[in-house]
Amino acid sequence: MASGSIPSFTFKAYGEDNPRQVSGSGSSSRHHSDSESEICPTTKSLARLCSRDKDERATALEKLSEKILVCLELDRTGSARLSKETLLHLLRLSRSCPLQEVRMRATELLCIAQEEGIEVPRALASGPSAFIPAKELLIEGLNQDILVESFLSLGRVDHLTMVMALHPSYLSCFLRTQHALFELDGPLPRDWRHYVSVMAAARHHCSYMVQQHSKAFLEAGGDKSWLSGIKHAPVKLRSLHTLNKLLAHRPWLITQQHIQELVCAGAEPRWSLAELIHAVILMAHTHSLCSFVWGCGLNPEPDHIGGYAFHPPSPSHIPRSPHSPAHEDSRPELVDGAVEVEVLMKRMVELQQQQEEEECTQEEMVTRFERQRSESIPTAVVRGAPPELVLGLVEEPEFRYEDFAPRGEQSPSTMRAQDYSWEDHGFSLVQRLLPDMGQFLDEEFQVVSNLTYNRMAMHEDVDTYTLRKALWNYIHCLYGIRYDDYDYGSVNVLLERSLKVFVKTMACHPEQTTARIYHAFWRHFRHSEKVHANLIVMEARLQAALLYTLRSITAYIK
């Protein structure tokens, strides 16, 4: 299990606001401006707050304060020298910067601006997650070091990072993979990488991920018109549409033919195998992250559309963001939650003893798998049309997930893990076509598979291996992947129905996730344990989607 520190990345103002990128609710004659005085804060000066040198950081903070105060002094005529972008940057720092001195100074500057009569933005959410209490994700908590490192490396600490920081060893390797995918040298240009992720996030109506990558796309020099609709993007990028929708919703339908249409000599436009594998990993990576975003109920960032509003200086009611995951006011009763934990622990012990004493025939193992994959698990109420933010970025929005094995229907052939696996086949193919990326992905899979704190709810010194294995294999079962040596009867023993509902919703149509189904399972478990379950679902889904695509690429190469 990896536990290394986050790599030091070159700060590229990721997420820094650009006048082309920010639009939002509210208007004011004093916070909109097309041109700022040269004395006002710039992206470069704001980036100096991320210096690893404490003295340099302190100097940058003082200069930032001086510039803003000078702007306010000069702003007596209402000429709006403080732009919306500067105000939103201050809001983000005041809400999520793990460096206390920066966070407090940003808060102070916003207060001064408000006292001067400038309408300042207010965050619409009380914390990173609509499902997890903010006090459990406080940036002054136990994971302070990894959040500080993230801020110094990336220039911001977003809600995704704050929630993942509940599991620092996983966050560390995740950030390495993310950096390699989007920043290191590779076959795809940097702006294309982020646009591919925008396309992928739009499949799951994930405004959060669309906005994150839209900003990064523009910062990498991308054409703003592409974000107004996929029809404005190059034909080569648009040719990924079929692969994108299948990867997102039904990866088992991907065939050698889909690969051939993109990479064969007569294809126009033609993708190289290296370019295609890069795009495939970007799409699958983003699809699985959408599962995590929805599954953890992440709120919009303070500088996202839907994450802030401008209000007059007097206090007013802050409405809930319309872009937050749908959730209900009530939570399920916690009656007998402790009893459920005891029952689960007893089942884990009994199951281990039973497996040591009994041996199932191969026929019985297959029967149990088929029974599991054809089980009917209801999911949440289907959402309506995609939100306006992603409407023009998704083609065929009606194409959604369908069960791999609907009752009474002929299903596709099961993928036997023994015939095509990540360890024996996928890893080496990715390493060959996109050097080092196989290693990054493998580390993620290994860390999440081995991640354990040897505790469960209120109990310590608990071996949770069988539970973690059941979760991983259940997700692969939903995607039609079978392990010959696994007894799928274990899934029904260890995974309660409410957990199955959550897992299937999150893995297969995450945009339907609600607070009710999040709170309904593992009612006496810590939120960090539920986030752990989210990580398992996310990585198992990622690997399943990659396996189907890599198998088709292997078939094409042969």
pTM: 0.85
Least confident range from 138-147, 280-289, 391-400, 484-493: namely 138-147
Number of domains into which the chain is organized: 1
The answer to whether the CB of 304 falls within 8 A of the CB of 424 is no
**Position 494 confidence tier, pLDDT thresholds 50, 70, 90:** very high
**Catalytic: which of 97, 206, 290, 296?**
206
Q: Is residue 19 part of a domain?
A: no
For residue 85, tell me if it sits in a domain: yes
Does 318 have pLDDT greater than 50?
A: no
Predicted confidence at residue 311, as pLDDT, reads 65
Mapped onto helix, strand or coil, the DSSP state of residue 415 is strand
Q: Which domain holds residue 104?
A: 40-120
**Predicted confidence band of residue 253 (pLDDT cuts 50, 70, 90):** very high
Q: Give the pLDDT confidence of 167-206 residue by residue, as tens digits.
A: 999 999 999 999 999 999 999 999 999 999 999 999 999 9
Asked if residue 515 has pLDDT above 60, the reply is: yes
pLDDT band at 511 (very low <50, low <70, confident <90, very high): very high
Q: Where is mean pLDDT largest: 89-93, 288-292, 525-529?
A: 288-292
Q: Does the residue 217 lie in any domain?
A: no
The rounded distance, in Å, linking the Cα atoms of 182 and 197 is: 10
Residues paired with 17 in a beta bridge? none
Q: How far apart are CA 171 and CA 145, in angstroms?
A: 12
Q: What is the mean pLDDT of residues 380-404?
A: 77
Rg (CA), the chain: 24
In a domain, 44, yes or no: yes
Measured between alpha carbons, how far is 286 from 213 in angstroms, rounded to an integer?
Answer: 10
Using 50, 70 and 90 to split pLDDT, how confident is the model at 43?
low
User: Within 13 Å of residue 43, how many CA atoms lie on the same side as its CB?
Assistant: 12
Q: Are 43 and 13 in contact (CB under 8 A)?
A: yes
- Phi, psi torsion values for 415, nearest 5 degrees: -90, 115
Q: What percent of the chain has pLDDT over 90?
A: 56
Q: What is the pLDDT of residues 57-112, one digit of tens each?
A: 999 999 888 888 888 776 555 444 678 888 999 999 999 999 999 999 999 999 99
Residue 522 and residue 545 in contact, taking contact as beta carbons nearer than 8 Å: no
Is 75 within a domain?
yes
Give the pLDDT confidence of 439-474 residue by residue, as tens digits: 999 999 999 999 999 998 888 998 999 999 999 999
Residue pair 266/520 in contact by the 8 Å Cβ criterion? no
Active site residue 206: yes
Q: Read out DSSP for 29-55?
A: TTT--SS--TTS--HHHHHGGG-SSHH
pLDDT for the residue 142: 59
Within a domain: 342: no
Q: Encode pLDDT of 333-388 as tens digits.
A: 444 556 778 888 888 877 777 766 667 777 777 776 777 766 767 665 555 666 77
* Three-class DSSP category at 333: coil
Q: Looking at the predicted structure, is the pLDDT value of residue 25 above 60?
A: no
Residue 97 lies in a domain: yes
Q: Would 50 be classed as within a structural domain?
A: yes
